[in-house]
Amino acid sequence: MSLLALPAIALAAEGAKFEAVIFSEQIERFVEIINLVVALFAGIYAIKLAALSQGGTMEKTWNTLAVATVSFVLLEVVGTLKGFEVVEIEGLAEIFEFLFVTVLAYCLYFTKADLLKKMLGK
């Protein structure tokens, strides 16, 4: 996976810039609003699922996924506020992005270990 990132890192280091327009600005704003609404619903449902799983065998997984989802929602809110030029706090999106990826990776790691342990009967 890290091999896929190497070309991007090399281009960034050289200051190369590539630009392409897929959507017009109006469509991009509409898509941003839809993304925000879907992210909010995902956050609500992740919290509800985590609440339903309390005491279950996958409780820790659902709780951690809920935290990851909420951090993604925060990332989307920050991105939307920046996109509509309402509020922009430099570095805040990167913090939420790091939190999201870290919590998600942690969740996948310990869930894999937990499932392997259950499969092997330990």
How does residue 47 score in pLDDT terms, banded at 50, 70 and 90?
Answer: very high
- Tokens read off for 53: 């799983």
pLDDT at 15 over 70: no
- Choose among 96, 89, 95, 79: nearest CA to 29: 79
Token couple for 18: 């590539």
Whether the pLDDT of residue 13 is over 80: the answer is no
What global pTM score does this model have?
Answer: 0.77
Q: Where are the domains of the chain?
A: 26-120
